[in-house]
Structure 1
Amino acid sequence: MDTVNHQLRRTMFKRRLDPALKNMASAKKTRQLSVIVQSVDGVDERIKKHIKKHGGRITEEYPFIKACNALVPPPAIKSLETLSHVHYLSPNRPVAAHLNNIRNVLSSGTAHNQGLTGRNINVALLDTGTYPHPDLIRPANRILYFKDLVNGCEFPYDDNGHGTFVAGIILGNGSMSKGEYAGIAPGAGLISLKVLNRSGNGWTSTVLSGMQWIYDNREKYKIKLMCLPLGHLGSLSAENDPLSRAAQVLWDCGVIVCASAGNNGPEASWISSPGINPSIITVGALQGYGGTILPANPLAPFSSRGYTPDGNPGLDFVAPGTGITSLNSDPCFMPKSPLSHRSTRLDSHYRQGSGTSAACAAVSGTICLLLEKHGDLTPDEVKSLLKHSCKSLNLLKEQQGHGLPDINRLLD
């Protein structure tokens, strides 16, 4: 990495205003900008009064990272930056899902033979929602809780399909395929938070709301792991990026955070946020066919690789991410009661997809098996055990991280 450019970026990160937001404010093409305001000691009355005085308003607060989302007139950005108790200002960036046979590659079938299924391990998934697929609700409903932060619907649905596909890789039980398309941890429980719309897109503010909910409810729902198969291209230091800071807070509270690297390859582009955070687990995608990784060129062309804005290698691990078979869903299904799913039928229960989302889901399922076997492990301990289980694919560290986790080694 160019040393001069890296030093320039480090200097940029010492400022309190995201250059992208500065440019947006200078353009003056809108009456108000949606801004993530991160504070030093919490969003107190000084910040609230300043925003109101300059014609803005706070739309949502995120106490767990001492931040808020505010609508602010462009001329007020400069004065807001001068407040000593403001840590960083950045735009409310758009986020997107990362989705453009897996169990054989990871050796999870052996774990299932040992009786490990992820039982009593609850995973929080922030995505497009979850369709009540038979592989998730039969013989028992494992969608333990559903919260819709986009449309406010009370009961589980998925008007895009991405979230259901990811959930199937993590914990589908394969009931409609006689086990052939079971996920990695078919006994785990799901906490589903819909933060992306029917197009698979959303906003940083909505994802932060979902992460705030997990922070507030992690003990009530015994959430051990959070899967984030989404993000936006990382352009800020991990210290200043809102999603990265939120992921760090949850990690420090004992919630394992697993994020997809993004689908910005094959150029050595920066990793997506929150995957830029060096503490959490960031996963890239391998390409293969029929359960076999392609030896000559194992890294999926679309998989993000390279360095974070802080100059660190962005990937921790890689996992299968092309041609993955998982759960199909009905994007037109909108439930009006807990039993609405009885009136919906799928032409096909499964479909194929590719993306670092799938790879992130595979590693998330692997973590469920590890937690079931070894009980209360800290996030750092889980990451260390995954690291020591890996098979190298003889790629550069910025392309593969530590390599491909092997469940047999991990659970030995």
Structure 2
Amino acid sequence: MIYDRSWGGTVALARSWGARRRQAFGTRFTALAIASLVVVATGGVARSAAAALGNLRMSVIVRTLAGDGTPAEQAVRGLGGTVGLRLGIIDGFSATIPAAALTTLQTMPGIVSVSPNTHLRPESANYDPSTDVNSMDSTTQYTGAQDFWSAGYTGAGVDVAVIDSGVAPVDGMSAAGKVVYGPDLSLESQAPNLTNLDTFGHGTFISGLIAGRDDEATAPYQSDPASMYRGMAPDARIVSIKVATADGGTDVSQVIAAIDWVVQHAHDTGMNIRVLNLSYGTNSSQSYVSDPLAYAAEAAWKSGIVVVASAGNLGFQRSHGSPALANPAFDPYIIAVGSSDSEGTQTVVDDTVSKFSAGAKWGNARAPDFVAPGAHLQGLRVPNSYIDANHPEGMIDARYFRGSGTSQSAAIVSGAVALLLSKNPSLAPDQVKKMLQNGAYKLSSFNALVQGAGELRMTPLLSMAAPNFTQSFLNATGTGLLELARGTDHLTRDGVVLRGEQDIFGHLVDDPAIALLESAGSSWSGGDWNGDTWTGSSWSGSSWSGSSWSGSSWSGSSWSGSSWSGASWSGSSWSGSSWSGSSWSGSSWSGQSWSNSSWG
């Protein structure tokens, strides 16, 4: 939604071309880089009011000097407050304190600032998706998804693998059978109360765009009220493979292992993984031909899985001197998706390519295959997740969040692919890609370097014959360096940066040897990958069994479960479930790999 180092359109239906234009609703939302955090400073007002608040309590954001977090937390508790979410990106944490203690806390040693958390206001207390051109109700209309629903194609029978930050059981993702949990390969997998759950807030948002569906929604879905949340493919199933922690922290080795797992288990009993969503991308400094991450994605494609990747954030890619598109989107075999913007209307003629969307630098360079809606989209909110706490500007109401980025665009396309495959299950990945390109609508004011074939439109695909088409590019080899695949972002633990040809366990990664195993679809052996035990080796109900990491990490610390038990969670609940115990021990991470540009 907002990141674009590794973890990322709007088309009117044919029947509405020129016939219907909605007024632009509301004020456009300012796009902010996800790496930034806006805190509304209202301390002066709060101080003057504190004396009148008596025993009332207030929510605050506490920023500390680097390394002074623990004394500050002790100070909060000493004043009768409680410590909530740790916000490593600003050296701070959220807390609830007696209102009368605000001035005292602000003047204590080691504390940079204490800001009342009064900016957490919904965009609208009476949000109406029917008047929001970027709601999922509107998006599924103007992309043509609802035309597929009307024809009886809703994604049923298609599994979409989402390698991301997990999925939380919020309304819209809590229906029976909606989510199958694959292995949790994240650094949070050793905390039982966090396994598979989305503490970041990204994976749930993305999964909802793909296949979210309210329990009360009824097929064929286009007749449901706009207030009923429905993703692009309401009856598709999400297979969630969690690789990211609460602050987005993950390493390329985890993502590669996750891709390999998807390939090997795509057709296990009861499974039918036909689509893989990667709202992720690094600014790799090597060619796709040698890049290990690109090779893994290409191997998945050639195994019969349609791989959809976000094109990346233009500003981040250029500022770090990488190829125009993110890795693995720069591999020409897979589908690379850029972002389009409805500009607040539901007619196609004024649609634009989002300013943040990466494109080709020159005529023969890799461009996005096409663009899809990715600006200011309505998605599912995960209360108290990292994104929820750090980006209040994205909040719509208690249930929904708004985000922009090629992450969202990739999710929209993954849902579109699920619809197409539910109509014609025999399509090969190359055919799917060609059909989506052939059906795209050319945006007249933009060249192919930034929009590719044009903007996603599903309606023409209902009557389009399957093309006889096979791609022919230079095949990837995967014999390059894992370190170069990481680009400029690295995972950090205990102050030690993960670098070089090693995985999160500190074990050497023999890239050519792994590539050879990937080509044979055998890089996983039970729960082992690269000689390490990452997960269990069996299904239990609707989830994959876990495993205890007893080895050491690249930093020399143990991955045992006890090392993940000390952090705290602020305890929000949804759908009858709640976060219990602890969370968010958090590695240091900028979050730029998740291909978003802003929230709001």
Equivalent position amino acid for 1:304 in 2? A
Query: In 2, are the aligned partners of 1:266 and 1:303 still within 8 Å (CA)?
Result: no
Query: In 2, are the aligned partners of 1:319 and 1:363 still within 8 Å (CA)?
Result: yes
Query: In 2, are the aligned partners of 1:262 and 1:304 still within 8 Å (CA)?
Result: yes
Distance in 2 of aligned mates of 1:208 and 1:252:
15
Alpha-carbon distance change, 114 to 296 in structure 1, aligned in 2, over 3 angstroms: closer
Identify the residue that residue 7 of structure 2 maps to in structure 1. Answer: 97
Identify the residue that residue 106 of structure 1 maps to in structure 2. Answer: 143
Indicate the structure (1 or 2) with the bigger Cα radius of gyration. 2
**Structure 2 residue ranges without an equivalent (≥5):** 9-32, 35-133, 218-224, 387-395, 464-600
Distance in 2 of aligned mates of 1:148 and 1:315:
30
- 1:292 match: secondary structure: coil
Q: Does 1:133 align with 2:170?
A: yes
- CA drift of 1:210 comes to 0.6
Identify the residue that residue 325 of structure 2 maps to in structure 1. Answer: 271
Distance in 1 of aligned mates of 2:262 and 2:317:
34
Equivalent position amino acid for 1:408 in 2? T
Distance in 2 of aligned mates of 1:294 and 1:114:
23
Query: In 1, are the aligned partners of 2:5 and 2:326 still within 8 Å (CA)?
Result: no
Q: Does 1:388 align with 2:438?
A: yes
Identify the residue that residue 111 of structure 2 maps to in structure 1. Answer: none
Distance in 1 of aligned mates of 2:165 and 2:282:
15
Identify the residue that residue 194 of structure 1 maps to in structure 2. Answer: 242
Identify the residue that residue 264 of structure 2 maps to in structure 1. Answer: 216
Q: Does 1:302 align with 2:372?
A: no
The size of the alignment, in residue pairs, is 305
- CA drift of 1:405 comes to 2.2
Identify the residue that residue 57 of structure 1 maps to in structure 2. Answer: none
Q: Does 1:232 align with 2:268?
A: no
Distance in 2 of aligned mates of 1:291 and 1:213:
41
Identify the residue that residue 408 of structure 1 maps to in structure 2. Answer: 459
**Structure 1 residue ranges without an equivalent (≥5):** 1-93, 334-345
- CA drift of 1:267 comes to 8.4
Query: In 1, are the aligned partners of 2:368 and 2:449 still within 8 Å (CA)?
Result: yes
Q: How does 1:257-268 map to 2 (within 5 A)?
A: 257-265=307-315
Identify the residue that residue 241 of structure 1 maps to in structure 2. Answer: 291
Query: In 1, are the aligned partners of 2:317 and 2:325 still within 8 Å (CA)?
Result: no
Identify the residue that residue 316 of structure 1 maps to in structure 2. Answer: 369
Query: In 1, are the aligned partners of 2:5 and 2:313 still within 8 Å (CA)?
Result: no
Distance in 2 of aligned mates of 1:234 and 1:252:
22
- 1:191 match: secondary structure: strand
- 1:318 match: secondary structure: strand
Distance in 2 of aligned mates of 1:217 and 1:267:
33
Distance in 1 of aligned mates of 2:349 and 2:158:
34
Distance in 2 of aligned mates of 1:347 and 1:323:
14
- CA drift of 1:134 comes to 2.2
- CA drift of 1:347 comes to 7.3
- CA drift of 1:263 comes to 1.3
Equivalent position amino acid for 1:109 in 2? Q
- CA drift of 1:128 comes to 1.0
- 2:353 match: secondary structure: coil
Alpha-carbon distance change, 294 to 200 in structure 1, aligned in 2, over 3 angstroms: farther
Deviations 1:211-254, CA, capped at 9 Å, x for gaps: 12112211112210100001112432111111111111111110
Alpha-carbon distance change, 403 to 143 in structure 1, aligned in 2, over 3 angstroms: same
Alpha-carbon distance change, 266 to 217 in structure 1, aligned in 2, over 3 angstroms: closer
- 2:330 match: secondary structure: coil
Find 1:159's aligned residue among 174, 191, 199.
Answer: 199
TM-score, normalised to structure 2, is 0.48
Alpha-carbon distance change, 164 to 116 in structure 1, aligned in 2, over 3 angstroms: same
Greater relative contact order (CA < 8 Å, ≥ 6 in sequence): 2
Identify the residue that residue 180 of structure 2 maps to in structure 1. Answer: 144
Indicate the structure with greater helix content.
1
Alpha-carbon distance change, 284 to 142 in structure 1, aligned in 2, over 3 angstroms: same
- 1:282 match: secondary structure: strand
Query: In 2, are the aligned partners of 1:136 and 1:172 still within 8 Å (CA)?
Result: yes
Equivalent position amino acid for 1:225 in 2? V
Find 1:330's aligned residue among 357, 365, 383.
Answer: 383
- 2:459 match: secondary structure: helix
Q: Does 1:205 align with 2:253?
A: yes
Equivalent position amino acid for 1:214 in 2? V
Identify the residue that residue 342 of structure 1 maps to in structure 2. Answer: none
- CA drift of 1:292 comes to 3.0
Identify the residue that residue 168 of structure 1 maps to in structure 2. Answer: 208
Query: In 2, are the aligned partners of 1:172 and 1:183 still within 8 Å (CA)?
Result: yes
Q: Does 1:370 align with 2:423?
A: no
**Higher mean C-alpha displacement, 143-152 vs 264-273:** 264-273
Query: In 2, are the aligned partners of 1:170 and 1:365 still within 8 Å (CA)?
Result: yes
Distance in 2 of aligned mates of 1:306 and 1:287:
18
Find 2:161's aligned residue among 104, 124, 128.
Answer: 124
Distance in 1 of aligned mates of 2:337 and 2:255:
19
TM-score, normalised to structure 1, is 0.69
- 1:201 match: secondary structure: coil
- 2:297 match: secondary structure: helix
Find 1:185's aligned residue among 233, 238, 255.
Answer: 233
Distance in 2 of aligned mates of 1:307 and 1:293:
29
- 1:386 match: secondary structure: helix
**Higher mean C-alpha displacement, 112-121 vs 346-355:** 346-355
Identify the residue that residue 75 of structure 1 maps to in structure 2. Answer: none
Identify the residue that residue 115 of structure 1 maps to in structure 2. Answer: 152
Deviations 1:8-59, CA, capped at 9 Å, x for gaps: xxxxxxxxxxxxxxxxxxxxxxxxxxxxxxxxxxxxxxxxxxxxxxxxxxxx
Query: In 1, are the aligned partners of 2:317 and 2:324 still within 8 Å (CA)?
Result: no
Identity over the aligned pairs, expressed in percent? 31
Identify the residue that residue 357 of structure 1 maps to in structure 2. Answer: 407
Query: In 2, are the aligned partners of 1:289 and 1:323 still within 8 Å (CA)?
Result: no
Deviations 1:251-305, CA, capped at 9 Å, x for gaps: 1110110000011249876110000000000000011244536755701111111
Identify the residue that residue 76 of structure 1 maps to in structure 2. Answer: none
Query: In 1, are the aligned partners of 2:154 and 2:233 still within 8 Å (CA)?
Result: yes
- 1:137 match: secondary structure: coil
Distance in 2 of aligned mates of 1:258 and 1:293:
26
- CA drift of 1:376 comes to 1.8
Identify the residue that residue 87 of structure 1 maps to in structure 2. Answer: none
Distance in 2 of aligned mates of 1:396 and 1:383:
19
Distance in 1 of aligned mates of 2:280 and 2:249:
9
Alpha-carbon distance change, 216 to 267 in structure 1, aligned in 2, over 3 angstroms: closer
Alpha-carbon distance change, 362 to 239 in structure 1, aligned in 2, over 3 angstroms: same
- CA drift of 1:107 comes to 1.7
Distance in 2 of aligned mates of 1:372 and 1:243:
28
